[in-house]
Structure 1
Amino acid sequence: MDTAPNVDVPRPTDGPWPPLGWEERAWRSTLPPDLFSRSAREALRKPYRAAVTPLIADLDVHLPRATAAAAEDASAAIRDFDADAAGDVAPFAAILLRSESASSSQIENLTSGAKQVALAEIGEESRRNAVQIVGNVHAMQAAIALSRTIDGAAILAMHRALLEEAEPETAGHWRTEQVWVGGTGYSPHGAAFVAPHPDRVPAAIDDLVAFAERDDIPPLVHAALTHAQFETIHPFPDGNGRTGRALIHALLRHRGLTRSVTVPVSAGLLVDTPAYFDALTAYRQGDPATIVDELARATHDAVANGRVLLADLRAARDEWRSRIRARSDSSAWPLVELVLRQPVLNTATVQRELGISHTNAMRAIERLVAAGALAEVGGRRRSVLWQSTQVLTALDGFAARAGRRGLGRS
């Protein structure tokens, strides 16, 4: 693929945000010509148009008053939810992060039940979707861990954590090939969106990182615009959407809007995925308000859904605690907290997480079985596993609520 001289570079406009520019690039197909008709071969000889992202590092952000107000209301909802969950941060931080990872994956049509994801986390499930969702959990964990400094290395680390199991050859590397959305699989001609040429990716990421490091933009607005610009750059051959939504959480933590837990905003975006994708398209056309509005709307849906999940989990925990008969120093009590964040487990998991012997792990498990918190099930390796049906039901209920309206519109 060679650069053609016809380039329409994005320039400042009278509007609130510069739209994409476009450039023509020559296309060289690697497929044998005899696979195509004569008309298709002629079409492939023509240049295609690839996006050229505007530089945003130093742009002033001007939004309609209603959009700014919506972002502030959503920010308040995030702060309240984060504070509410902080009292149970150990189990709930993990469960909310897993829920957010599953919802982000579902936006990419990667779906799996809560039990399959929990099994994959302990190596008892090898189905591709469940394994990829666990990869997304790792990407979210990396995003939070690296949120102090958001730079190119941090973004690469998020992507590496996401795909190192599924696609190790490309995980953690900027793309070196052209990518596009829609159209055919063999050329970008006629695609709905053609991302920037790979030789433009490093400079575009440097500009994005400079924008992400600013502190003069309201945090939710900052996260929305950073996410939209990242999705437009599309710097990886795969995993852009999931990495980009992990980046939202890195920004929210970096700017101090969240301090304890991961607010499951992807579950809110999942409620109306067409509106989310339309907002990204609008951003590329020079409208920054729509993606901010969409993230604000998604935040309220996510917080409402998340509160139901936390209420379900707290009710289950209270019920178990009332039924457990054990001394105050028994390992059964910390096992309750472990079950909330790891609803399918084996003795090795209990031993490792609680730092106890096999004998004490079995005693704690037996007490939770007697209290109705755990039930014995078989693993795919004929191992003995225990699961919490209540926690798995609560997680599947969260996913169903997130996807209900979006599924109805598709």
Structure 2
Amino acid sequence: MHGTTWPAIAHETLEWRSRYDTDGLSRRQRVDAALRSYDAAVPPVIAELRHAPPAALASELEEAAAEASRFDVEMGIELAPYLGILLRSESAASSTIENLTASARAVAAAEVGIDSRGNGGIIAANVQAMRRALEVDGPVDAPAIRQMHAALMVGDRWHEPGQWRAEPVWIGGSSISPCGATYVAPRHDRVPELIDDLVRFLATPDVSVLQQAALGHAQFETIHPFTDGNGRTGRALVHAHLRATGLVRQVALPVSAGLLASGRAYVDALTAYRAGDPDPVLRLFAEATLRAATEGRRLGHEVRDIRATWSAIVTARPQSRTWDLLDLLVRQPVVTAATLQTELGLAPGHVRRHVDPLLELGILKEQRVHRVRGTYWRAPEILTALDDFAARSGRRLPLR
């Protein structure tokens, strides 16, 4: 089917059978559990759909795609040793959209095994999911999506990482019943076919990459193929597609930071998409991409300047591994002795030889953690730059 219209989702009425013992429920919850039917979404297949946005919006999308490409080239040249800093920032912003927040220090500490409890550990898992997205070789397919989700949800006791859901999921309303929910995702047995259709859409050569990424993301969130982690996986999918199509080859463009700044507009755009109007989500992605390039450059330049300052005050000999440690701290601003042994090949007895001079210069700060009977070191300037980036990303733009 070709044309400029985009169909709204349909609905089907399904029977609800509560899994809950009503004895321990409140009166309101017992009413919810007693409801017997609900309307689930039936999304259209989109592989053959084409949409022609208004000329002004089409121009915005072209400009945003060109800016993403420029950003990739510039940052790939300027920040080649430090690309992980953008990846971590994007992962944190994607998690913040889901109201999962943690300091850069907590996330970095979780990454090196200091403390993986709480949101720091969840966001650290999101960093791994983003890495999986950037490792996708060739067009995105269903196994790649499941691998991203598995990385995101690793160790989760309540959900099945990397497995399509086998139960209803919904947004809004009661926590114990989909009846009366704001949105109920399609019946679980529709998921594999809908994902295959989405994959075919992402592989079509006659749709612009950024339009594919935006509409593909909206369709993924409409399908909601997992019991949890759909938003973060869906944004990782955007990165996988940008990388697989070659629009962004070297860096993680912090698109989620741009979406985060849009506030309620993100939810409203997804709602409009489901009602048959894809233009709000296209406009949102164009604006988010442009903002991502602006904020990503700012963070990149801040990190570059911090690293240059370190080089000016460190007096190690030219071949010293201390220089490698400085580069590592930009990518991983919290380290342990085990980190330095693994990443830099330092012998256990040589770790302090490289750490102590950086402590004296204030580049590193030492932290003892009793419960793990160990010590870790943090680079406060890098962590502050990351937290500042997160704060800027969280500033809401005026809704239009």
Choose which of 367, 374, 384 in structure 2 pairs with 1:393.
Answer: 384
- How far apart are 1:42 and its partner, in Å? 9.2
Output the CA distance in 1 between the equivalents of 2:159 and 2:174. 24
Larger deviation: 364-373 or 273-282?
Answer: 364-373
Output the CA distance in 2 between the equivalents of 1:332 and 1:91. 15
Q: What does residue 211 of structure 2 align with?
A: 221
Output the CA distance in 2 between the equivalents of 1:278 and 1:385. 43
- How far apart are 1:270 and its partner, in Å? 0.7
Go from structure 1 to structure 2 and tell me whether the alpha carbon gap of 1:296 and 1:389 turns closer, same or farther (over 3 Å shift).
same
Output the CA distance in 1 between the equivalents of 2:384 and 2:290. 23
Q: 1:354-373 to 2 correspondence within 5 Å? A: 354-373=344-363
Contact 2:198 2:220 in 1 (8 A): yes
- Per-residue CA deviations over 1:193-226 (Å, capped at 9, x if unaligned) read 1100111111111111111111221111110011
Go from structure 1 to structure 2 and tell me whether the alpha carbon gap of 1:15 and 1:149 turns closer, same or farther (over 3 Å shift).
closer
Q: Describe the SS at the equivalent of 2:251.
A: coil
Count of residues in Structure 1 that have an aligned counterpart in Structure 2 = 397
Q: Describe the SS at the equivalent of 1:87.
A: helix
Q: 1:247-258 to 2 correspondence within 5 Å? A: 247-258=237-248
Output the CA distance in 2 between the equivalents of 1:169 and 1:193. 20
Q: What does residue 316 of structure 2 align with?
A: 326
Go from structure 1 to structure 2 and tell me whether the alpha carbon gap of 1:368 and 1:199 turns closer, same or farther (over 3 Å shift).
same
Q: What does residue 16 of structure 1 align with?
A: 5
Contact 2:4 2:51 in 1 (8 A): no
Choose which of 214, 225, 228 in structure 2 pairs with 1:235.
Answer: 225
Q: Describe the SS at the equivalent of 2:39.
A: strand
Q: Give yes or no for the alignment of 1:384 onto 2:375.
A: yes
Q: What does residue 315 of structure 1 align with?
A: 305
Output the CA distance in 1 between the equivalents of 2:375 and 2:297. 33
In structure 1, list runs of 5 or more residues that go unmatched. 1-11
Contact 2:146 2:163 in 1 (8 A): yes
Larger deviation: 264-273 or 32-41?
Answer: 32-41
Q: What does residue 277 of structure 2 align with?
A: 287
Report the AA paired with residue 11 of structure 2: W
- How far apart are 1:358 and its partner, in Å? 2.5
- Per-residue CA deviations over 1:223-267 (Å, capped at 9, x if unaligned) read 001100000000000000000000000010011110111000101
Q: Give yes or no for the alignment of 1:104 onto 2:98.
A: no
- How far apart are 1:48 and its partner, in Å? 1.0
Could you tell me the TM-score, scaled by structure 1's length? Answer: 0.92
Q: What does residue 8 of structure 1 align with?
A: none
Q: What does residue 156 of structure 1 align with?
A: 146
Output the CA distance in 1 between the equivalents of 2:137 and 2:269. 25
Contact 1:85 1:92 in 2 (8 A): no
Choose which of 97, 103, 128 in structure 2 pairs with 1:113.
Answer: 103
Q: 1:52-131 to 2 correspondence within 5 Å? A: 52-131=42-121
- How far apart are 1:339 and its partner, in Å? 0.5
Alignment identity in percent?
Answer: 47
Larger deviation: 36-45 or 19-28?
Answer: 36-45
Report the AA paired with residue 239 of structure 2: H
